[in-house]
A = this chain, B = another copy of it.
Amino acid sequence: MEPTSYLRCFILLFSSLFLIILLRSWFPSHGADFHLDCSQYSSWCTTSKNRIQSKFNVSSSTTEKNTTKHKPIDDHFADTPKHPLDPLTLQEINKVQSILTIYPPFFTPNFPSIHTLSLHEPEKSTVLEWKKGDILPHRQAQVIAFLNSHSHVLVVDLDEDKVISHGIDPASGYPMISGEETTIATDVAQANEEFRRIVVSRGVKLSDLVCYALATGWYGPNEEGKRVTKVQCYSKQGTSNFFMRPIEGLTVTVDLEKKEVVKISHTGNDIPVAQAKNTEYQHSAQNKLTSNMIPINPISMEQPLGPSFSIDGHLVRWANWEFHLNPDPRAGVIISQAKVRDPETGKLRSVMYRGFASELFVPYMDPSEGWYFKTYMDAGEYGMGLTAMSLVPLNDCPHNAHYMDGIFSASDGKPFVQSNMICVFERYAGEIGWRHSQTADSSSGRPEIRESRPKVSLVVRTASTVGNYDYIIDWEFQADGLIRVQVGLSGMLMVKGTHYENANQIPEGDNMSGPFVSEHLIGVVHDHFITFHLDMDIDAPDNSFIKVHLVKEEPPPGESPRRSYLKTKKHVAKSEKDAQIKFKLFDPSEFHVINPSKKSKIGNPSGYKIVPAGNAASLLNQNDPPQQRGAFTNNQIWVTPYNRSEQWAGGLLVYQGKGEDTLAIWSERDRLIENKDIVVWYTLGFHHIPCQEDFPIMPTVSSSFALKPANFFNSNPILHVAPTVPNDLPTCSVASTSS
């Protein structure tokens, strides 16, 4: 550029800035700065209508107490960050957008599309040093944008009003697909004459089409170099559950940048579109069948004195727990600085610096043309927060739930409100915290004892709808110090059309990719893996990972009537490869994170253990492209030293990425992890072989794992909890309106 060009640019920049400031002062807030109806920008950004559904008033004396006060959208204009980890506010997102608008590299005819715009977390040491009342560290945003075939990763400093770092194409992949792009892709497909002809030839009216833009994965050099998506469509004729009516074998590959069709693949000519009958799941649209079930009377969790948790901004306090709760466009929810109060000292003690669903991997088991690419990475390709729509009160979350909004950015960088995307509630499920009984024994003077304590916990929930599937992710905090992470799967199967109508037509050995679930439909076998980032800080950042191996020993002959017994052998993992763990039922271990510098009263190191429940492992070939990208599922547990940039197990840019930036690659460096600030990664897996009951919508299937104190407390921390007595019960009656 010539000097005059620089000058012209400078003048343009300044005059624009002036104009923007002027405009902002004229139009103080609404309309221009955020999306009231954002569906034109993002198919999953939430419209204001959602809020109405969750705002009903219950004509009950307890409602005022139990329904937490929730701010209307307009109030988000007044949100201010109070904590270094608070998410970007609506005003801060606007400010980032303004900064980017006048950022020279983006000062082109085409403003980049913004795919992520969220808090760039301060250095961990800065956060750990910060105390309430201190000035906040610089507020920064991480922005992932796409412009002219390049991915841009920026950090914008809101205190300095500028971009402070800018990387271009740091890895092979692209940013996650935006709602705007899915609209472009489906519009491009539906405008294509050949596509329209095929649709009509399959007996589907164009006005009945519903299309989805699917992430393509990565399958070698042939598919590299352009940002593409694959569009597949359904018929909504006669049902809102179009997912059960696929136009099988019709796939349109669309170039998202050029906005043009790359390829139309049609292999499903002989496959009928399955019927609409029996697929409706909306209560309002269902034919009311005569129910053969004894009606289940309403049942509710009631709290006569109100909930016992409090939420101050994003800081949650309940029982002995305190933690920070962030809605996040990619992870859904981030739990930070989870601390538990020691019942003996009254002091808050650190358990986990940060925990979140880092990535999901969902490979479908069908190598055919229309299916091979279905190997989704839901967090990095779609965003678990962006797809976490408003929760349905009384059904998704109980009566006493508090709802929290997320403030995210649309593709134009402007904020929108993802309303009621998190709920927080206390749970009493009729479970027992601890118990013991004893009969009286007159000879020893042993008295009769009946002691039992009900278990009450606090649940943080999101439900992300990624296309057909719904992921319910719960973080449950127990008063005994245990954190349980539970993942529930519901929503619709991704079904495949078939010409078979009855199993008796299927020849022996037919190569179907899943069970036959309804007339003309197969439920394709698939896996779900959810990899959690668990930055454990047991009493301080520096921790060690211990494998407590259970091994069989044989006593020397003659020494015992026993011929075998189990013994624990502790192994401190020295480096990353030492902590790549595959679970073995017949060669079991416990997995502890301990603080070697913090000893209990009796001298044991303070610790937590990772407690698996049901799980499933990926069995795909290591050289299969999907498994290379999903290589973070190669082990059930990994441990890495803390690294601010290692947040996303599948890499920062996952869409069409080759997998060169995954947890598996990081861990290969085999860094030292003993007595270091370490991060544990846990993968929760499901094999899903569908069945008829999953049609037309799946009853929730859940699995979980837990983080459980192990020599963290000197003794049972809920030993002194009082039992529930009759006076604790509320006095309840049927709601007057229904009586």
Contact = CB atoms under 8 A, between A and B. Distances in A.
Contacts of A708: 693
Interface string A603-616: 11000010111111
Contacts of A503: 599, 602-604
A282 B449 contact: yes
B240 A447 contact: yes
A465 B264 CA distance: 67
Interface string A433-447: 111111111111111
Interface stretch (A14-22, A47-55, A100-108, A158-166): A47-55
A655 to B, nearest CB: 17
A240 B434 CA distance: 16
A733 to B, nearest CB: 5
Contacts of A372: 560-562
Nearest to A697: B434
A320 B304 contact: no
A323 to B, nearest CB: 13
B432 A488 contact: yes
A434 B367 contact: no
Interface string A219-238: 11001000000000000100
A1 interface: no
Contact of A734 (B304, B513, B525): B304
Q: A210, A452, A548, A723 — which one has the most chain B CB atoms within 10 A of its CB?
A: A452
A143 to B, nearest CB: 24
Interface stretch (A132-140, A405-413, A564-572): A564-572
Contacts of A200: none
B723 A392 contact: yes
A249 interface: no
Contacts of A81: none
Contacts of A694: 716
Contacts of A398: 428, 430, 454
A644 interface: no
Q: A609, A712, A715 — which one has the most chain B CB atoms within 10 A of its CB?
A: A715
Given A395-B724, A627-B564, A211 B291 contact: no
Contacts of A443: 183, 186-187
A481 B691 CA distance: 13
Interface string A297-314: 111111111111000000
Q: A480, A585, A698 — which one has the most chain B CB atoms within 10 A of its CB?
A: A585
Interface in A342-401: 342-346, 363, 365-369, 372-373, 389-392, 394-401
A437 B389 contact: yes
B515 A604 contact: yes
Which 10 A-B pairs give the minimum distances between C-beta atoms?
Answer: A503-B603, A429-B429, A298-B728, A367-B560, A219-B561, A292-B346, A395-B452, A730-B732, A564-B621, A563-B624
